Amino acid sequence: MSDLPHTVWTVSSTSYLRNLEQEDLRGECIAIHYQKPPVRNEEAGTTSYSLRFPLLIVASYVEKPNEVADRVAAILNKHWDSLDD
């Protein structure tokens, strides 16, 4: 297991079939992905990893989808744990 901190919210492209014209059907789609941090079971000596999945899809109408997604993911990462208080 890596010593690097886990990032819950990340940005990357995803497969998402949109109901658009043929040439845009397979265009890049940017999403904000969610994944819980790994959980280490010291007793068993194992680590469990959760499923990473796209939770938010950035609309193709956005002018700079990567920048918008990065900003949203940064906001979520900054404030996510504060909701547990």
CB 57 within 8 A of CB 28: no
Whether 4 is in a domain gets the answer no
> pLDDT value at position 71?
96
Whether 27 is in a domain gets the answer yes
When divided into structural domains, the chain yields a total of 1
Whether 46 is in a domain gets the answer yes
- Which domain does 54 fall in, by range? 9-84
pLDDT tens sequence for the chain (85 residues) = 456 688 899 999 887 766 667 766 667 889 999 998 888 899 999 989 889 899 999 987 889 999 999 999 999 999 887 766 5
32 exposure class (CB count in 10 Å sphere: 0-12, 13-18, 19+): buried
Whether 3 is in a domain gets the answer no
Whether 43 is in a domain gets the answer yes
